[in-house]
């Protein structure tokens, strides 16, 4: 059995593995500490606390454990509220940019090289052009600041009008947006490709990842989704774990996805120098009935099994 750390840096989401992390700064610290101690995971997908002492403690823990923090912007930007970057209200857009700059500072403080983010909420077809214009202005300002600290902004395609309602949206629209940002001189904007969102957007992951590769993939999330049974507690946008009953992905589907990444040249079946490895992270809730630690272990083994099939043919 090959060791996946020879090929890519493997990560996991703190807040999905420990959903209580979102309820207070101290619970976030506890969840972060436990996740940082997991074997096999080199990178941690997380937002850091606005509490200075907690944030500094988490950054210190990550360094002690030899972990890298891949920063995630908070959900505030996805809501039709005071931090909507595509709002028609200039004050709300200013609030959104101020909050984004604050989290950009936290990411730079943590030494993060990538920020996973989404667009803001969709305000409907009639307002979509103006919403996109406002979001583009926001992204240009953010990309300029991110470039100063060497951070890539990876924009994630998330469903519109089904489960979630975000401006971007279908993968092809995210790719067009990223390509436009490149034309405007902002090469530090890329696509964050998450397998979980493909069935939620009724897209084929192989076709969509090819589009994302052409635009420029900045980060990869591996996740699952249940779309066929609304009665299932993990139905829809819940980040179901890999291999769960009624889910779209088990290790065979993940293996096929990895094989496509190899074809595209994003991953390599030969061992890669540590500094040159790409990052692949799990975004998943716990398996029903299992602890966070056991859930992470089971998912790790499934990803390991998926990658073995690619390397060993």
Is the pLDDT at 1 greater than 80? The verdict is no
Q: Is the pLDDT at 313 greater than 90, yes or no?
A: no
pLDDT score of 166 more than 80:
yes
How large a percentage of the chain has pLDDT more than 90? 97
Q: 111: closest CA among 51, 67, 52, 50?
A: 67
Helix (H) or strand (E) holding 12: strand 8-13
The residue-averaged pLDDT of 149-174 equals 96
Q: Which residue has the tokens 């405007």?
A: 184
- What secondary structure letter does DSSP report for 166? B
Q: Hey, how many other C-beta atoms are within 10 angstroms of the C-beta on 186?
A: 18
CA separation for the pair 310, 217 (Å, rounded): 20
166-174 average pLDDT score: 96
Q: How many CA atoms lie within 13 A of 146 on its CB side?
A: 27
Span 266-277, average pLDDT = 92
Closest CA to 115 of 103, 127, 126, 123: 103
Q: What is the pLDDT of residues 34-93, one digit of tens each?
A: 999 999 999 999 999 999 999 999 999 999 999 999 999 999 999 999 999 999 999 999
Q: CATH second-level architecture of 4-67+149-311?
A: Alpha-Beta Barrel (3.20)
Q: What confidence tier does 2 reach under pLDDT thresholds 50, 70, 90? A: confident
Neighbours of 91 (CB within 10 A): 9
Instruction: Quote the tokens at residue 69.
Output: 């923090």
| pLDDT score, position 231 | 97
Question: How confident is the model at residue 146, as a pLDDT?
Answer: 98
What six digits make up the tokens of 175? 């790719």
Query: Any idea what DSSP says for residue 160?
Result: E
Mean pLDDT of the chain: 96
What's the rounded mean pLDDT across residues 249-253? 97
Distance CA 272, CA 307 (A): 14
Q: Where are the domains of the chain?
A: 4-67+149-311
Averaged over 276-293, what is the pLDDT? 96
> What does the pLDDT read at residue 3?
86
Alpha helix (H) ranges present in 79-127?
A: 90-109
Rounded mean pLDDT, 304-310: 96
* Cα–Cα distance, 179 to 296 (Å, whole number): 35
Q: Is the pLDDT of residue 214 over 80?
A: yes
């Amino acid at each position: 059995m090959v060791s996946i750390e020879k090929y890519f840096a493997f990560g996991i989401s703190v807040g999905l593995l420990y959903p209580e992390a979102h309820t207070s700064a101290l619970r976030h610290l506890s969840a972060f500490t436990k996740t940082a101690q997991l074997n096999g995971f080199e990178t941690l997908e997380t937002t850091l606390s606005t509490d200075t002492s907690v944030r500094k403690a988490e950054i210190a823990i990550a360094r002690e454990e030899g972990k890298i923090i891949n920063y995630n912007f908070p959900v505030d930007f996805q809501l039709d509220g005071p931090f909507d970057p595509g709002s028609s209200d200039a004050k709300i857009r200013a609030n959104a940019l101020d909050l984004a700059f604050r989290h950009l500072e936290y990411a730079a403080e943590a030494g993060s090289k990538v920020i996973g983010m989404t667009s803001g909420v969709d305000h409907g077809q009639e307002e979509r052009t103006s919403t996109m214009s406002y979001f583009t202005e926001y992204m240009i300002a953010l990309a300029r600041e991110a470039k100063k600290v060497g951070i890539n902004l990876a924009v994630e395609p998330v469903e519109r009008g089904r489960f979630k309602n975000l401006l971007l949206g279908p993968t092809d629209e995210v790719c067009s947006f990223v390509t436009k940002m490149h034309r405007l001189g902002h090469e530090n904007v890329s696509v964050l490709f998450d397998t979980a969102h493909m069935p939620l957007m009724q897209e084929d992951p192989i076709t969509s990842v090819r589009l994302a590769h052409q635009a420029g993939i900045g980060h990869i999330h591996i996740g699952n989704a249940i779309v066929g049974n609304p009665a299932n507690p993990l139905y829809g946008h819940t980040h179901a774990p890999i291999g769960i009953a009624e889910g779209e992905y088990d290790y065979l589907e993940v293996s096929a996805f990895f094989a496509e990444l190899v074809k595209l040249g994003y991953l390599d079946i030969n061992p890669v120098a540590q500094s040159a490895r790409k990052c692949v992270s799990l975004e998943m809730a716990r398996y029903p009935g299992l602890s966070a630690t056991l859930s992470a272990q089971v998912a790790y083994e499934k990803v390991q099994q998926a990658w073995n099939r690619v390397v060993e043919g």
